[in-house]
Amino acid sequence: MKPENIKWRVVDKPGETFKVHRSIYTDPDIYQTELEQIFEGNWIYIAHDSQLPNANDYFTTLVGRQPVVISRDDEGKLHGFINACTHRGAKICRKKKGNTKNWSCPYHGWVFNPQGEILDIKSLDTANYPDSFQKSDYDLTRIKVDSYAGFIFASVNTEVQELKDHLAGAKVFMDLFNEQSAEGLEILPGTSVYTHHGNWKMQAENGVDGYHVDTVHASYFRIAANRNERAAKEGAEDKVKAIDPLTEQPRNGTYTLGNGHQLFWIDVPNFRDRGLGMEYDALVERVGEVKAKWMAARLRQLVIYPNVILFDGISTQMRHWRPLSQDETEVTVNCIAPVGEPAESRTRRLRQYEDFYGASGLATPDDLTEFDACQDGYYGIKSAWHDFNRGMTQIIDGPDDVVAEITTEVLNSAPHMADEGLYHHNYRNWLKLMTRKMPTQQGAV
């Protein structure tokens, strides 16, 4: 897709207006270009360290449309490959995850190791390959894999920038997330996958949309309040203790962190009811007052562009997604928790996670319904533009006083989480990725 066919869809006049054309959510050509330029051209979150902890563990997933396998070698180093045999293309590792020293392709029996090297070509002695034959030409096709703070990313574009540079200002907040425990984090057993009607970009918007919270999740907050009332009245125990960031209008805001990454935050009044809040005093001792406040008392939702959100507030969630078409998205959610936390905190964390998140929780289904309603609405192309102008006059260049306590690597700050200024960064980055020149695709000879 030519840059001039994309650029007009974003109107960016700082201080005046910021508009996107709703065809970006519905146009199949835009979607195709997103797959090539973003999902198969950029870093994509794929897994957490704890999902393949041991030597010879592997983990399979998709990056864009491409099947990949990530492995860990004897020295703990991560590798990634296109999950297709170099002989006839059959997927080699077939299960979601596993542990094996030799990968034997079930179709014609070729064998590889977790470093992607070909170990055996069946009946090579009778193969009569041409003179130019080199066994090593049949090693698996390598992709880029790297991790930061336990979060593993991959890119099928081998010329992509270094992961640390890509993560930019998000790293500080990934550290905050990771340092909940001195022993790191672990994905808890129990993965849920759901699909919804609605373009993937709504996932990246809605996860840092502070404006929808009290409307879309009204039923959730009413239930939370009712539980509190009932517990107080009956002297009974509210086992879930829903986190309620809204009733006292605490301080909140948003930041843009570079390369499309964004964050919103809000102080949680009853933070001592949170899994980590129950350990608050010990946490202060370990990481200091400022960090402890950020980690336990401040709800944070961090979008790492384009496909994952780290939730730390109402429990702790990793949510990542994969577009299935311009209209359909597949979402994978996991509860992530500090290694070695006390049993009571672990249980609290799980109940809060199940209560709010996931297609079976009390909040996410309402979000999904809005995605569906938006996607339908976007086809009303006679009403083609929408703006992200809320908070336009309050955008601060660089960090505000709150975030300055922990980092300066912030592009913009906004004093209200309901402000929409962070989306300017989101879509400026989108435009940049969509219109940049990619290395020539292999094959188009």
Partner 1 sequence: MAIDLQLTAEVTDFLLEEADLLDRRDWDSWLELYEEQCLFWIPAWEDDDVLCEDPDNEVSLIYLDDKNRLKDRVWRINSGLSSSLIRMPRMAHMVSNVRIKEASAERILVHAKFQANAYKLDEHRVDFFFGDYHYELLPKGDSFSIKTKKVIIRNDIIPRQLDFFSV
Partner 2 sequence: MKPEDVKWRIIDKPGETFKVHRSIYTDPEIYKAELEEIFEGNWIYVAHDSQLPNANDYFTTMVGRQPVVISRDDEGKLHGFINACTHRGAKICRKKKGNAKNWSCPYHGWVFNPQGEILDIKSLDTANYPDGFQKSDYNLTPIKVDSYAGFIFASINTEVQELEDHLAGAKVFMDMFSEQSEQGLEILPGTSVYTHHGNWKMQAENGVDGYHLDVVHASYLTLAGMRAKEAAEAAGGDNIKAIQPQNPDTTGGNYALGNGHVMIWIDIANFRDRGLGLQYDSLVERVGEHRAKWMAGRLRQVMIYPNVILFDGISTQMRHWRPLSQDETEVTVNCIAPVGEPAESRKRRLRQYEDFYGASGLATPDDLTEFDACQEGYYGAKSPWQDFDRGMKSHQMGADDDARSIGLEPESSAERAADESLYHGEYRQWVKLLSEGAD
Residues at the interface with partner 2 (CB under 8 A): 40, 65-68, 82-92, 94, 105-109, 122-123, 126-133, 140-141, 143, 156, 441-445
208 binds, among partner 2, partner 1, none (CB under 5 to 8 A by kind): none
Provide the Cα torsion 389, 391, 397, 402; round to 10°: -150
Provide, rounded to whole angstroms, the least separation between the CB of residue 62 and partner 1: 12
The answer to the question of residue 94 lying near partner 1 (CB under 8 A) is yes
- Cβ closest to partner 2, residue 60 vs residue 375: 60
DSSP bridge partners of 103: 112
- What distance in Å separates the CA atoms of residue 405 and residue 407, rounded to the nearest whole number? 6
| CB nearer partner 2, residue 98 or residue 415 | 98
Q: Is the peptide bond before 189 cis (omega within 30 degrees of 0)?
A: no
Contacts of 127 (CB under 8 A, 6+ apart): 121, 133
Give CA torsion, residues 242, 245, 247, 252, to 10 deg.
180
Burial of residue 127 (number of CB atoms within 10 Å: 0-12, 13-18, 19+) = exposed
Closest CA to 112 of 151, 53, 71: 71
For strands 17-21 and 97-99, give the pairing. unpaired
| Binder of residue 84, out of partner 2, partner 1, none (CB less than 5 to 8 A by kind) | partner 2
The partner in contact with residue 343, picked from partner 1, partner 2, none with C-beta cut-offs of 5 to 8 angstroms by kind, is none
Ramachandran class of 190: left when φ > 0, alpha when ψ lies in -120 to 50, beta otherwise: left
What does the per-residue mask of binding to partner 1 show for 11-50, with x meaning CB under 8 A?
----------------------------------------
Side chain identity at residue 403, one-letter code: V
Please tell me whether residue 95 binds partner 1 under the rule CB under 8 A. Answer: yes
Nearer to partner 1, 66 or 435 (CB): 66
Alpha-helical segments (H) within 8-123: 28-34
Question: Cα 26 vs. chain centroid, distance in angstroms?
Answer: 22
Nearer to partner 2, 130 or 380 (CB): 130
Q: From partner 2, partner 1, none, which one binds at residue 95 (CB under 5 to 8 Å depending on kind)?
A: partner 1
Residue 112 vs residues 100, 116, 136, 137, 204: alpha-carbon distances, Å: 11, 6, 11, 13, 37
Q: Which is nearer to partner 1, 94 or 436 (CB)?
A: 94
Residue 66 C-beta: closest distance to partner 2, Å: 5
Distant-in-sequence, close-in-space partners of 366: CB < 8 Å, separation ≥ 6: 216, 217, 219, 220
Q: How far is the CB of 193 from partner 1 (least distance, A)?
A: 8
Residue 65 binds partner 1 (CB under 8 A) = no
Work out how close the CB of 442 gets to partner 2 at its nearest, in angstroms, rounded to a whole number. Answer: 6
Residue 108 interface partner, choices partner 1, partner 2, none, CB cut-off 5-8 Å depending on type: partner 2
Nearest approach, Cβ of residue 441 and partner 2 (Å): 8
**Residue 333 CB, nearest approach to partner 1 (Å):** 16
Q: Give the nearer residue to partner 2 in terms of CB position, either 64 or 258.
A: 64
Provide, rounded to whole angstroms, the least separation between the CB of residue 140 and partner 2. 8
Nearer to partner 1 among residue 94 and residue 230 (C-beta): 94
Q: How far apart are CA 151 and CA 173, in angstroms?
A: 12
- Among partner 1, partner 2, none, what does residue 83 contact (CB within 5–8 Å per kind)? partner 2
**Least distance from partner 1 to the Cβ atom of residue 368, Å:** 18
Q: How far is CA 74 from the centre of its chain?
A: 28
Q: Based on CB atoms, which residue is closest to partner 2, 63 or 333?
A: 63
In angstroms, give the least distance from the CB of 268 to partner 1. Answer: 37
Based on CB atoms, which residue is closest to partner 2, 156 or 410?
156
**Up-side HSE of residue 365: CA atoms within 13 Å toward CB?**
8
Give the one entry of partner 2, partner 1, none that residue 53 binds, where binding means its C-beta sits below a cut-off of 5 to 8 angstroms depending on kind: none
How many CA within 13 A on the CB side of residue 246? 16
Distance of CA 211 to the CA centre of its chain: 20
- Contact residues: partner 1, CB under 8 A: 94-95, 106-107
